[in-house]
Amino acid sequence: MSTTSAAPKKQHSRLFGLPKETLLDWYDDMLLVRRFEEKCAQLYGMGKIMGFCHLYNGQEAISTGAVKGAITRDDYVITAYRDHGLAISKGVDPKPIMAELLGKVTGTTRGQGGSMHIFDKETNFLGGHAIVGSHIPIAAGAAFASKYKGEKRVCLCFMGDGATNIGAFHEGLNLAALWKLPVVFIIENNRYSMGTSVRRSSAVEELIKKGLGYDLRTEVIDGFNVLEVYTKVKAAVDHARETYEPSLLEIRTYRYRGHSMSDPIHGHYRTKEEVEEQKKYDPISVFAEILKAEKLVDEEWLDEAEKRIKAIVEECVTFAENSPEPPLENLYDVYYKESNGE
C-alpha cells in the first residue's frame, strides 16, 4: 500500500467545541515552531549551531495537535532527536531552547545536551534522545511510574518510521501492552529515515500492523490537519487514562527539510518535485484556511501573527546570543547527583 498521503479534502464543519482562543493559540504554536526551525537553519548555516540539527518543518500539526492540544501539562512527552517542535508545544520556553542550540549556559540543559537532548522537568518533557528507539522502553517506564503511583498521567512517545524496525521498539511495545501501561506510541511517519524509504526498510509498509502483533489499539492519522491529529490522539490519550491501555498511532506526515541539516532536502531518495508537491498541503496553511473559512481569523490577523511570532523568535536569538557559555568549572558539576539524605 502506498504511503503517499492524499491531500486532506475533508472540511471540518465542527471544530469540536473548542474555544476560539484555543484555536488561535494553536495557530501561533504551529507558526512559532515553523519560524523557530527556519531560524535554526539560518543559524546552523552561519556555524552558530554545531553538531546535528533535525528540523520539524512540515510536521507542526503533530506537535500542536497532540502535545499542545491532546494532553495536559502533567502528562509526559518523550521523543527522539527531532525534538524542538515537540518541546515548544509542550510549553518549554523557546528562549532557553535556542540558547541550548547555541551551547550557552542558559540553555535547557546548561549546554550539556544540545539540539538532540532538550529536556525540561517542569513541563514533563522527558527529552530528546539520540539512539533510535531506545527511548521507547523509557517511555513505557514513565507510564509505569504513573500507574505505580496511582497517578493519571499518560506518556506520549513519539518516534520516526525507522524506529519501528529496531529491537527496543518491540520490547517496549510488548511490555506496555503486556503490563497495560498508559503510553500512547506515536509514529511520525514522514516516509524516510535519513535517505531510506519505509518500503526499503520495513517488511510492512503500513506501520500500525506492527502494533497488531502486540494486540495494540491502533489508528492511522492524517498529519496535515491539526484538528484531525488532536481528535484522534486525544481519543488514545483518554483511553489510556481510563483503561491504562496503550495505543500505537501512525501519523502520516512529511518533512520539508533533510533528515538533519547535514542531509540533502532531496536527491537520491526523493525528488524536488515531490517536496514541492507536498508543500501544497502545508499544515499551517491548511489550518489557516480552516480558520478563515470559519471566520475566526482574517488576513490582517494572520499578518499580525507573523509579526508577533517573528518578534518572539528574534527575542530567542537575542537571548541566546547574549548568554554566556558554560564555565569550565561546570564540567564535573553534573557527574553524580548527591544524596539529599532521604
In the bound state with other proteins, the residue whose beta carbon lies nearer, of 8 and 111, is 111
What whole-number distance in Å separates Cα of residue 61 and Cα of residue 254? 11
**At closest approach, how far in Å is the CB of 173 from other proteins?**
9
Give the nearest distance from C-beta 198 to other proteins in angstroms: 23
CB of 62 to other proteins, least distance (A): 21
Binding site for other proteins (CB under 8 A): 76, 78, 107-113, 117, 119-121, 126-129, 131, 134-146, 148-149, 155, 167-168, 170-172, 174-175, 178-179, 333-340, 342
Closer residue to other proteins, CB minimum distance, 124 or 253 = 124
CB of 60 to other proteins, least distance (A): 25
Report, in Å, the least distance between residue 314 CB and other proteins.
25
Longest dimension (CA), the chain: 61
To other proteins, the closest distance from the beta carbon of 220 in angstroms equals 25
Beta bridge partners of 158: 186
User: Quick one: 17 or 150, whose CB is closer to other proteins?
Assistant: 150
The β-bridge relationship of strands 76-78 and 247-252 is unpaired
- Specify the residue, 74 or 303, whose C-beta has the smaller distance to other proteins: 74
114 prior amide bond cis, ω within 30: no
- Number of separate helices (H) and strands (E) present in the chain: 12, 7
Nearest by Cα to 223 from 264, 191, 263, 265: 191
**Which distant-in-sequence residues (6+ apart) come within 8 Å of 58 by Cβ?**
190, 253, 254, 255, 256, 257, 278, 279, 282, 283
Looking at beta carbons only, is 245 or 282 nearer to other proteins? 245
> Minimal distance in Å, beta carbon 191 to other proteins?
26
In whole angstroms, give the CA distance from residue 118 to residue 67.
Answer: 15
Q: Based on CB atoms, which residue is closest to other proteins, 117 or 266?
A: 117
Min dist. Cβ of residue 315 to other proteins (A): 22
- The span from the first CA to the last CA of the chain, in angstroms, equals 56
Nearer to other proteins, 166 or 296 (CB): 166
Q: With the CA atoms of 55, 60, 62 and 67 taken in that order, what torsion angle do they form, in degrees rounded to the nearest 10?
A: 90
Nearer to other proteins, 70 or 136 (CB): 136
- Tell me the C-alpha distance between 175 and 131, whole Å: 19
β-pair type (76-78, 155-160): parallel
